[in-house]
Amino acid sequence: MKIVFATNNPNKIKEIQSMLPDSIEIISLESIGCHEEIPETADTIEENAIMKADYVTQKYGYDCFADDTGLEVDALNGEPGVYSARYAGEQRSAEDNMTKLLLNLKDKSNRKAQFKTVITLNLKGKQYLFTGIARGEITLEKSGNQGFGYDPIFRPENYQETFAQLPLETKNKISHRGIATQELIRFLKENK
């Protein structure tokens, strides 16, 4: 089975392709000639994932899946949430985003947070949603050089390391994206 993953993020493609069986091949947006930035203007993570998947299906005619992820911090009333990628501005800099988040949490004792990923799958004219949540906390400083985004400052529950310190295989089993992707994979295997 070949399916389009509606993202321009090579890190996400690599992470998810590594979790898929050989029988499922991801096709990139570039491969289908989609070079434009797909809108992500919705107010929720779910709506953004739906918007991206629908864009590819409607404009290019492919079965596809799209994800959206947000980091939700308790002490900041769920911020950055749907704005996680551009928390510190439209330049979408992971370093700037982490710096801003750590600054906003400087005087907070509650550092509990969760990553939430929603994957929308458009397959054979139907739409399905898969959600993954990873609970944990925001560290006081950055640690590790694996992963991407907020990984260096997010320590998942029951671990001493941040996502950026964990091996990819471990992260894929416990992360928000890993959990949602495992649900997606189970579904795709059953509905080939």
Is 74 among the residues known to form the active site?
A: no
Q: What sign does the dihedral 170-176-177-180 (CA atoms) show?
A: positive
State the Cα–Cα distance between residues 109 and 191, nearest whole angstrom: 46
pTM assigned to the model: 0.89
> Domain segments of the chain: what residues?
2-190
Q: Which pLDDT value is given to residue 22?
A: 84
Angle of CA points 160, 166, 167, to nearest 5°:
150
Q: What does each of the 192 residues of the chain score in pLDDT, given as a tens digit? A: 889 999 887 777 887 787 778 888 899 999 999 999 898 899 999 999 999 999 999 999 999 999 999 999 999 999 999 999 999 988 889 999 999 999 999 999 999 999 999 999 999 999 999 999 999 999 999 999 988 899 999 999 999 999 999 998 899 889 998 899 999 989 988 876
Place of tokens 């990553």: 115
Which class is 2-190 in CATH? Answer: alpha beta
pLDDT of residue 46: 96
What integer pLDDT is reported at residue 141 of this predicted model? 94
Contact indicator for 79, 86 with CB cutoff of 8 Å? no
Question: Residues 68, 74, 107, 151: which is the catalytic one?
Answer: 68
pLDDT score recorded for residue 192: 66
Would you state the pLDDT for residue 125? 95
Cα angle, residue 96 at apex, residues 72 and 115 outer, rounded to 5°: 20
Q: What is residue 10's predicted lDDT score, i.e. its pLDDT? A: 79
